[in-house]
Structure 1
Amino acid sequence: MKKITTTLAFVMLCFISCKKDVKTEDTAAETDSIKTEEPVVEEPVDSAAQAKAWQEYATPGNEHKLMAAETGTWNCDMTFWYEPNAKPEKASSVANVKMILGGRYQEANYSGTIMGAPFEGKSTLGYNNASKEFTTTFIDNMGTGIMVAIGKYDENAKKIEFKGEAVNPVNGKKTPYREIYTIVDDNTRKAEMFDVKNGTEYKSMEIVMKRK
């Protein structure tokens, strides 16, 4: 029995040794096949310059004043197109807009009725001083996803064109969408949403907001 046990132990040791050799060879081959990227070398920045950069990043500017100008209550006339060339459906809501976190971000809370059902939604809007871009998010009680889009402001046209992706709950796939937000005048805003179906973009929503 002892002899059998010794023999089995010897066989196992040989097996483990062979496995280690194969693994070492495979690892070496994988290492050779993987191309390592050159590390990004950042230029040294003194503490004063770092402090100045972070201060500028955290300080609200003209774009934040633009958002703050929308503080108040707005009546929203909403139009939906659920398919390309479909008959439009109407809805309405009220938006309460305010600035939060020291005037750095805008928050809007929506309430109304869509297709006979109570509707609640919340949006946030921010301007990143570093990237020079606006970012918007939207959530509501008619889904479980968060819509996120990024865009830049066209001063001449008084518009922001946002681009993002949304998940189609029917097939679970991500599809691109586009939003054009227009400052019509001091008391009027317009948001237009464009979705993609079968590779073609179509207008799926329009909201005209009037300040109360």
Structure 2
Amino acid sequence: MKKLTTALVLFAMCFVSCKKEIKTETITEKDSDTVKTEQAEAEPVLDSAAQMKAWQAYATPGNPHKMMADEVGTWNCDMTFWSEPNGKSEKAASIAVVRMILGGRYQEADYKGTMMGQPFEGKSTLAYNNASQEYTTTFIDNMGTGMMVAMGKYDEKTKSMELKGEMVNPLNGKKTPYREVYTIVDPTTRKMEMFDTKNGTEYKSMEIIMKKK
């Protein structure tokens, strides 16, 4: 693992070094033929040891990744949906298989079940970015052609993370905001709530209670 991390760091350093270049901006004044060239402000230069240390910290899994790894296994998912505020709920069920990938740096989950009488398959990923100190989640499924992407932070007090993103409404093609709250209820129980926006009002559109087998 240590050798792999070092190799990744060296590769990243080489890639960034190759991409660096001095940018200039040319401005032509209306009242004269004067051409002014300005050099863009240069980034602070770090020595190779400092760069190695920074990249290694970025690439090394930490406590948030251990928390993600605690969820590895198979989960039964009890799903409830609402198509509109205060509307009638619909139920569905699925099974999620959770694993860690790429040396324990990311979490990946595969969902299979039945929804609206049709076979349902979905895939999610979860990442914790050491540099920005925030989580990013993605989700795709066989009931659409888009990808949902949301970002947010974990609150140790509430044992939950709030993630915000945008999704495209297939009925009108417009982007609308959505919010996801993921709560660690206990070691074998998770709750995921999704809040959509309709006519400018946020409402709870989905709740999933996950129980680890």
TM-score by length of structure 1 reads: 0.82
Q: CA deviation at 1:41?
A: 2.9
Gaps of 5+ in 1: 1-26
Q: CA RMSD in A?
A: 1.9
Tell me how far apart the structure 1 counterparts of residues 29 and 123 of structure 2 sit (CA, whole Å): 53
- Structure with higher strand content: 2
- Give me the whole-angstrom Cα distance separating, in 2, the residues matched to 1:37 and 1:152: 39
CA drift at 1:40: 4.1
Match of 2:120 in 1: 119
Report the counterpart of residue 61 of structure 2 in structure 1: 60
Residues 46/95 of structure 1: CA separation in 2 closer, same or farther (3 Å cut): same
Aligned pairs, how many? Answer: 182
Question: Which letter maps to 1:93?
Answer: S
Equivalent residues in 2 for 1:26-65 (5 A)?
29=30, 39-65=40-66
Counterpart code for 2:109: A
Alpha-carbon distance between aligned partners in 1 of 2:172 and 2:89, rounded to the nearest angstrom: 24
What is residue 3 of structure 1 aligned with on the other side? Answer: none
Give, in whole Å, the separation in 2 of the partners of 1:194 and 1:186. Answer: 24
Name the counterpart of 2:188: 187
Matches of 1:40 and 1:110 in 2, distance apart? 48
Deviation for aligned residue 1:107:
0.3
Separation in 2, partners of 1:59, 1:129: 8
Secondary structure of 2:49 counterpart: helix
Query: Residue in 1 aligned with 2:177?
Result: 176
Give, in whole Å, the separation in 2 of the partners of 1:188 and 1:37.
57
Give the structure with higher Rg (CA): 1
Q: Please name the residue that 1:87 is paired with.
A: 88
TM-score (norm 2): 0.82
More helix by share: 1
Q: Tell me the alpha carbon deviations over residues 58-81 of structure 1, each in whole angstroms, 9 at most, x when there is no partner.
A: 000000000000000000000000
Amino acid at match of 1:132: Q
Change (3 A) 1:38 1:159: farther
Indicate whether 1:210 and 2:202 are aligned. Answer: no
Mapped partners of 2:58, 2:153: distance in 1: 17
Cα deviations by residue, 1:48-107 (Å, 9 ceiling, x for unpaired): 000000000000000000000000000000000011110000000000000000000000
The letter of the residue matching 2:154 is Y
Structure 2 unaligned blocks of 5 or more: 1-27
| Separation in 2, partners of 1:110, 1:192 | 16
Partners in 2 of 1:84 and 1:148 — Cα distance?
Answer: 23
For 1:37 and 1:181, the matched residues in 2 are separated by 48
1:78 maps to what in 2?
Answer: 79
CA distance in 1, matches of 2:156, 2:50: 30
